[in-house]
Amino acid sequence: MIKVTIGIPVYNSEKYLRDAIQSVLNQTYADFELILLNDGSTDNSLDIIKGFEKNDSRVRVIDDGENKGLIFRLNQLIGLAGGKYFARMDADDIMFPDRIEKQLMLLEKNPYADVTHSDAVSIDDENNILGYKMSSVIKTSRDTLDEKVPIHPTVFAKTKWFKKHMYLDDYVRVEDFELWNRSINDSLFLNITEPLLFYRELSTNNSNKFLMSLPGKKKFAKVYGLSFSDRFKIVYLNYFKFIYCRILEIFRLDYLSVRHRFKGVEPKRKVIYQDILNSVKADK
């Protein structure tokens, strides 16, 4: 039986997709299945993933020709997973070579734990190192409300845990935030305080992302009965973020909106990370 299923939802990701997939195939732990689920891409993404399926028996492509959105596809991937563990991954990110090995080892050594996640290194559109992105240990719902949360694409969990805690449809762009808050009281999360993923910080259309997340955040505040201070932080502050990002976009200063998402990296460490990133070579 395959121990690990890696699931990647794919939508119009042709620019980054090859390196993302190659970083999975380069893993030091090789006994996995990789499910690439196409969400109605209109670019060359489907051809790219079919090429990988043709050349590596661990790769399985699923395509129904429809666009159903991230939440639907994440739940579909969980349902298709044949491994004991399920690893999240986005189509524009890149794994460190030992990501799966380290996360698998941690959960195998801690059988009572359900989820593990890690820090990440932020990169730009051209695979340049931007900074360091810290994940947080979460133990209670208060932690999630204080925005101490896992970095979503670094999450690696027991498949049975994911099947118990599926993503909910009404929380577009906050589906992970809602999931952590809903599941934390009966789950054990373990954080790895080192980077295992290169996280792509895309600076475009950030105002639209804030706008799209508002209905989900409003429902979250209502369902979980948030206090005024939490409601302000999670819902109303979103309006200010939307306006701020829209102004930056008007003046073509989008890149400024991502700077708060990561911390600086010392020069020596930056060189090491860049070398690791550059080692991922996919055929173009």
What's the pTM value of the predicted model, to 2 decimals?
0.96
CA pair distance 243, 111, nearest whole angstrom:
46
pLDDT at 12: 97
Cα separation of 77 and 9, whole Å? 8
- Please report the pLDDT score of residue 282 as a whole number: 65
> Cα–Cα distance between 233 and 131 in angstroms, integer?
25
Residue 284: its pLDDT value, please?
A: 54
pLDDT of residue 255: 82
pLDDT computed for residue 206 by the predictor? 84
Q: Determine the pLDDT at residue 203.
A: 65
Q: Angle, to 10 degrees, between the axis of helix 175-183 and the axis of helix 70-80? A: 50
As averages over each run of 10 residues, the pLDDT of the chain (284 residues) reads 96 97 98 98 98 98 98 98 98 98 98 98 95 94 93 98 98 97 96 97 83 96 97 94 92 86 95 95 63
> What pLDDT, on a 0 to 100 scale, did the predictor assign at position 256?
86
Helices (H) and strands (E) in the chain, counts: 11, 9
Largest CA distance in the chain: 54
Q: Name the one residue in this structure whose structure tokens are 């121990």.
A: 3
